[in-house]
Amino acid sequence: MQVKIYINGEWQMQEKERLASLINPANGTSIGTTAMATASDAENAISSANQAYNYGEWSAFPPSERAVYLLQIADQLENRKEEISKWETRNNGKPLRETHADVEAASECFRYYAGLISSTDGYTFTSGTEIQGLVTYESIGVCGLIIPWNHPILITAWKTAPALAAGNTIVLKPSEYTPISAYLLYDIFDQVGLPKGVANLIPGDGEEVGATITNSTAIDKISFTGGTETGKKIMAAAANNITNVTLELGGKSPVIVFDDADIEHAVDHALYAIYFGSGQVCSAGSRILVEESVYERFSDHFVARAKQIRVGPGEADGTEMGPLYTEAHMNKVLADIKRGEEEGATLRCGGNRMYGDDLDHGFFVAPTVFTDVNKDMSIVQEEIFGPVVVIQKFTQENEAIALANETKYGLAAAVFTGDSAKGMRVIRGVKAGLTGINNYGMGDVQAPWGGPKMSGIGRSLGPDGLKEFQEAKQINVSL
Ligand code: NAD
């Protein structure tokens, strides 16, 4: 596999010294190379997107015409699901069943925004007796989309589909570690004949290519998903040009379990919440808060189930959890675990790199559980982004809400209880954007994704996700 740059409808080859190797995290072997674009490539891509926006037909097309392209892209994603998910698994490490689901959800995202842009419009109002007003939602211009490595095809779709549906043109920078699925998506754009310059792909690193996008005065909108520290840099760069910015950042999300919950059901969801994607998920439920009277029962059961998770290469049959995405990240997660032990938490299972037949050369960390933690420990406060969960104890409803809110993040939260009124009271008290009662993290393309505090600014998905790529305009007509 060789990932190339795509600017103004043309594939571009790169000199050998500008290629980086792509590594399969399940076995440490090379699966191909990616072009590492330069700042000058990024500027060319921005200029091509500007030409297409200002002089091309895309933004002037009626929405229903753009929708036809989006529907063709959705069909092609569906047709090429096996191929794209196989490469996503090799590139990122996730089990095939997860990457299948991501490609399906990416296809659904293009389909959803094709429908939404064809069916939504502005509104009218009257002002006194002399003005009839119209409010329209127009495209913003050239959008710079910056993508992380953990859900490459999915987050690419979450940004690309609404941006294109609204009539913008785009410059996309995938993660330097996982650019393959974006490259395959651009192959689809090429095949469906997206007009030249409407979508441009510049694989490369953050400091050179990402920063060229965020510092550019020719970029009208930045939509970024990634770490909170990177988000701060991007917001600072956007401030210089007052560029419209959406940030989807990190999390340390709570799963709250009351003693009247169906414990088996709560354990099922809490396991999924943390070990899905090996915990490398922004909305991971990495803190479990359990009412004191069922704390031991819940913890014992959770630990027993965590030990049974089948860890292995994402391409192997029956794998439930894959490796971490790079060796460096695995080492960072192991260091975070060590710090948890040094801080005095009890390590109930995992905590180690895994070895064995299929695992020796991959970056596998065992499902890890800590109990006897307190709110000041780093493992309770910091996003680890690995298969590591802490189980905290609470005695009262108000304490559960206070503990849930005691981090700098606010992305996801869930409460498990047999009392629906209590469930509602608690979830209303928790500052988070993606919440559930008796379920965890059931995101849907129709509803906004994102959260307050240091988890970001703005929302993806649903009608709110489209508005992130539109400007409202009022037109006052004198009567
Ligand atoms: P990261 O911040 O290291 O990188 C994200 C992207 O930003 C990459 O493409 C990278 O090349 C680019 N980048 C890095 N420095 C840059 C700079 N100075 N200017 C412009 N671009 C730059 O994040 P990551 O490690 O790829 O992803 C993991 C993080 O993403 C986690 O914190 C996770 O919580 C977060 N995340 C959030 C959501 C959400 O929806 N809230 C979803 C997925 C991941």
The model's pLDDT over 336-392, given as tens digits with 9 standing for 90+, comes to 999 999 999 999 999 999 999 899 999 999 999 999 999 999 999 999 999 999 999
- For Cα atoms 399, 400, 404, give the angle at the middle one, nearest 5 degrees: 115
Beta-carbon contacts of residue 300 (< 8 Å; ≥ 6 apart)? none
Q: How far apart are CA 82 and CA 132, in angstroms?
A: 53
Task: Tell me, yes or no, if 342 is annotated catalytic.
Answer: no
| Mean confidence (pLDDT) of the chain | 97
For residue 244, what are the CA distances in angstroms to 136, 235, 357, 414?
18, 9, 50, 31
Distance 146 CA to ligand 1 centre (A): 8
* Nearest C-alpha neighbor of 284 from the set 92, 453, 434: 434
Angle, helices 420-429 vs 397-405, to 10°: value is: 30
The answer to whether 469 touches 245, Cβ cutoff 8 Å, is: no
Question: What confidence score (pLDDT) does residue 13 get?
Answer: 83
All domains of the chain in start order, with CATH: 2-249+455-475 (3.40.605.10), 254-437 (3.40.309.10)
Question: What confidence score (pLDDT) does residue 120 get?
Answer: 80
Please state the separation of Cα 311 from the chain's center in Å. 23
Distance 148 CA to ligand 1 centre (A): 4
Beta-carbon contacts of residue 41 (< 8 Å; ≥ 6 apart)? 5, 7, 12, 202, 204, 209
The answer to whether 11 touches 5, Cβ cutoff 8 Å, is: yes
Which residue is it, tokens 């409460």? 415
Any atom of ligand 1 within 6 Å of the Cβ of 102: no
Distance 244 CA to ligand 1 centre (A): 18
Q: Residue 275's CB: how many other CB atoms inside 10 A?
A: 23
- Atom from ligand 1 closest to the CA of residue 233: 18
Any atom of ligand 1 within 6 Å of the Cβ of 173: yes
Q: Which whole number is the average pLDDT over 99-125? A: 96
Q: How far apart are CA 20 and CA 18, in angstroms?
A: 7
Question: What confidence score (pLDDT) does residue 105 get?
Answer: 98
Per-residue pLDDT tens for 194-235?
999 999 999 999 999 999 999 999 999 999 999 999 999 999
Catalytic residue among 88, 176, 248, 468: 248
For residue 430, what are the CA distances in angstroms to 365, 407, 408, 434?
31, 11, 13, 10
Any atom of ligand 1 within 6 Å of the Cβ of 351: no
Beta-carbon contacts of residue 105 (< 8 Å; ≥ 6 apart)? 154, 157, 445
pLDDT > 90? residue 473:
yes
- For Cα atoms 448, 452, 456, give the angle at the middle one, nearest 5 degrees: 80
Mutate to test the pocket of ligand 1, among 150, 180, 407, 454 (most ligand atoms within 8 A of CB): 150
Confidence of residue 57 (pLDDT cuts 50, 70, 90): very high
Mutate to test the pocket of ligand 1, among 109, 214, 230, 464 (most ligand atoms within 8 A of CB): 230
pLDDT > 80? residue 458:
yes
Where b means 16+ CB within 10 Å and e means fewer, 124-137 reads eeeeeeeeeeeeeb
Q: Residue 466's CB: how many other CB atoms inside 10 A?
A: 21
Any atom of ligand 1 within 6 Å of the Cβ of 319: no
Q: Which whole number is the average pLDDT over 307-315? A: 98
Burial of 432 (0-12, 13-18, 19+ CB in 10 A): buried
Q: Which whole number is the average pLDDT over 416-420? A: 98
Question: What confidence score (pLDDT) does residue 17 get?
Answer: 81
Q: Which residue's CA is minimally distant from atom 15 of ligand 1? A: 206
Question: What confidence score (pLDDT) does residue 409 get?
Answer: 98
Beta-carbon contacts of residue 269 (< 8 Å; ≥ 6 apart)? 255, 285, 414, 416, 438, 439, 440
- Atom from ligand 1 closest to the CA of residue 455: 41
Any atom of ligand 1 within 6 Å of the Cβ of 453: no
Q: How far apart are CA 224 and CA 222, in angstroms?
A: 6
Residue 477, both tokens: 């007509």
Question: What confidence score (pLDDT) does residue 264 get?
Answer: 98
Indicate whether this model's pTM tops 0.80: yes
pLDDT > 80? residue 279:
yes
Q: Residue 318's CB: how many other CB atoms inside 10 A?
A: 8
Distance 389 CA to ligand 1 centre (A): 21
Residue 24, both tokens: 């399969």
Confidence of residue 421 (pLDDT cuts 50, 70, 90): very high
Question: What confidence score (pLDDT) does residue 442 get?
Answer: 76
Distance 56 CA to ligand 1 centre (A): 31
